[in-house]
């Protein structure tokens, strides 16, 4: 699959998933606000609302930071780097094991 088609597939999936997620998030936030306004003791809902917003905003910032620093540029490279380091450590351990004291 070419890079162009992968990009199109990701965009289509995002277009399908993000609105549903946004709806779920928005409806839950709306329920919190209604609960806070409707009941006399509804002030208890303010803390979950603030926590919900802070966590959501935090995840968005982390996602943006990861995208703009290039963390998703080459997601295959870390596994090859790990395997190469493992080979180097194995060679170093073998060399240390066979060399005379």
> Where does 1-101 have alpha helices with state H?
3-38, 46-68, 77-98
- In this predicted model, what pLDDT tens digit does every residue of 37-67 receive, in sequence order? 787 776 776 777 788 889 989 999 999 898 8
The 3-state DSSP class for residue 70 equals coil
Residue 30 has pLDDT above 70, yes or no: yes
Sign of CA pseudo-dihedral 17, 18, 19, 23? positive
- In this predicted model, what pLDDT tens digit does every residue of 67-79 receive, in sequence order? 888 888 888 888 8
Domain layout of the chain by residue ranges: 3-75
Q: How many CB atoms lie within 10 A of CB 29?
A: 15
The residue among 5, 55, 3 whose CA lies nearest residue 25 is 55
Confidence category of residue 26, pLDDT binned at 50, 70, 90: confident
């Amino acid at each position: 699959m070419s890079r162009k088609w992968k990009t199109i597939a990701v965009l289509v999936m995002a277009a399908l998933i993000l609105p549903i997620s946004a709806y779920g998030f928005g409806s839950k936030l709306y329920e919190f606000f209604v609960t806070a306004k409707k009941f006399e003791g509804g002030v208890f809902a303010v803390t979950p609302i603030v926590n919900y917003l802070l966590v959501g905003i935090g995840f968005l910032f982390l996602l943006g930071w990861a995208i703009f620093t290039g963390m998703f540029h080459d997601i295959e490279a870390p596994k090859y780097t790990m395997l190469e380091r493992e080979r180097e450590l194995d060679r170093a351990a073998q060399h240390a094991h066979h060399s005379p004291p």
